[in-house]
């Protein structure tokens, strides 16, 4: 109910400032970006990853308003990945953690990672998620939460050394370290729900 109320207020404010025409036109903008978003290394998404791997579009260099040439199978792969990410969180058996911070955090990560244009700053939510994950769960675990640590390290650090792999076919997939870190963190949150249900939370790695 709170989400609906906030949504109504924000939409009303947007319409008051920009009008219905501009708001409806934005749907077309989003549809266009889903077909030909940018492939710059800062775009940490499935779309950006695939295009960099096949050398379609820019990588290290960045030219505003220049978008990646449209390739149908890349678009379809991006859509499938988005459906898998969001669908996985929605249908996952969260059980006693359903509607919890872990559930919401996983959906937030999935929503960002599912976008065809997920810039580095869009993953800023990881900072809050990591803080909560540590103080609410990880610091109480008997085993060191190395998976959580690795995920947060990849998400919260700029690792420019990977850009030296930009022209190395196959290896340049490592430029998407932030994207993979977010997926790893999402997986940790999903596993947390299963461990909590079985009373094994304190031993979760």
Tens of pLDDT, residue by residue over 50-89, are: 999 999 988 898 888 888 889 999 999 999 999 999 999 9
**Range of the structural domain that residue 160 is part of:** 37-203
pLDDT tens digits along 101-132: 888 999 999 999 999 999 999 999 999 999 99
Residue 149's nearest CA partner among 133, 136, 161 is 133
The structure tokens listed for 134 are 């540590």
Q: Mean of the pLDDT values across residues 38-43? A: 91
Do 78 and 116 meet the contact criterion of CB atoms below 8 Å apart?
yes
Residue 118 in any domain: the answer is yes
Residue 27 in any domain: the answer is no
The residues with which 43 forms a beta bridge, in sequence order, are 119
Residue 79 in any domain: the answer is yes
Report the pLDDT value the prediction gives residue 205, as an integer from 0 to 100. Answer: 46
On the question of pLDDT at 178 being above 80, the answer is yes
Would you say how long the chain is, in residues? 205
- Three-class secondary structure assignment of 78-125: HHHHHHHHHHHHHHCCCHHHCCCHHHHHHHHHHHHHHCCCCEHHHHHH
Residue 82 in any domain: the answer is yes
On the question of pLDDT at 203 being above 50, the answer is no
Q: Is the dihedral of CA 108, 110, 114, 120 positive or negative?
A: positive
Quote the CA–CA distance of 95 and 22 in Å, as a whole number.
42
What do you get for the CA distance between the two ends of the chain, in Å? 36
The more confident residue out of 195 and 24 is: 24
Most confident listed range (31-40, 63-72, 141-150, 182-191):
182-191
Report the pLDDT value the prediction gives residue 151, as an integer from 0 to 100. Answer: 94
Report the pLDDT value the prediction gives residue 186, as an integer from 0 to 100. Answer: 93
The more confident residue out of 145 and 32 is: 145
Total of domains in the chain: 1
Residue 34's nearest CA partner among 80, 98, 101, 90 is 80
Q: Mean pLDDT check: name the lowest of 109-113, 151-155, 198-202.
A: 198-202
On the question of pLDDT at 202 being above 60, the answer is no
Residue 32 in any domain: the answer is no
Residue 26 in any domain: the answer is no
Report the pLDDT value the prediction gives residue 199, as an integer from 0 to 100. Answer: 55
Residue 59 in any domain: the answer is yes
**Percent of the chain predicted with pLDDT > 90:** 50
Quote the CA–CA distance of 120 and 156 in Å, as a whole number.
9
């Amino acid at each position: 109910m709170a989400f609906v109320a906030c949504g109504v207020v924000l939409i009303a404010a947007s319409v008051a400032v920009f009008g219905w025409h501009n708001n409806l036109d934005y749907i077309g903008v989003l549809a266009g970006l889903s077909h030909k978003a940018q492939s710059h290394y800062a775009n940490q998404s499935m779309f950006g990853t695939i295009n960099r791997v096949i050398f379609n579009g820019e990588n290290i260099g960045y030219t505003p308003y220049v978008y990646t040439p449209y390739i149908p199978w890349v678009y379809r792969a991006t859509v499938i990945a988005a459906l898998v990410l969001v669908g996985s969180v929605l249908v996952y058996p969260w059980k006693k953690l359903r509607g919890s911070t872990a559930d919401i955090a996983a959906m937030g990560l999935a929503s960002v990672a599912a976008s065809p244009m997920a810039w580095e700053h869009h993953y800023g939510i990881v900072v809050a998620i990591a803080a909560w994950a540590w103080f609410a769960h990880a610091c109480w675990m008997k085993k060191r939460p190395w998976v959580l640590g690795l995920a947060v390290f990849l998400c919260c650090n700029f690792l420019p050394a990977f850009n030296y792999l930009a022209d190395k076919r196959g290896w340049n997939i490592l430029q998407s370290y932030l994207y993979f870190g977010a997926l790893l963190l999402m997986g940790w949150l999903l596993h947390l729900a299963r461990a909590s249900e079985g009373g094994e939370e304190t031993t979760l790695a």
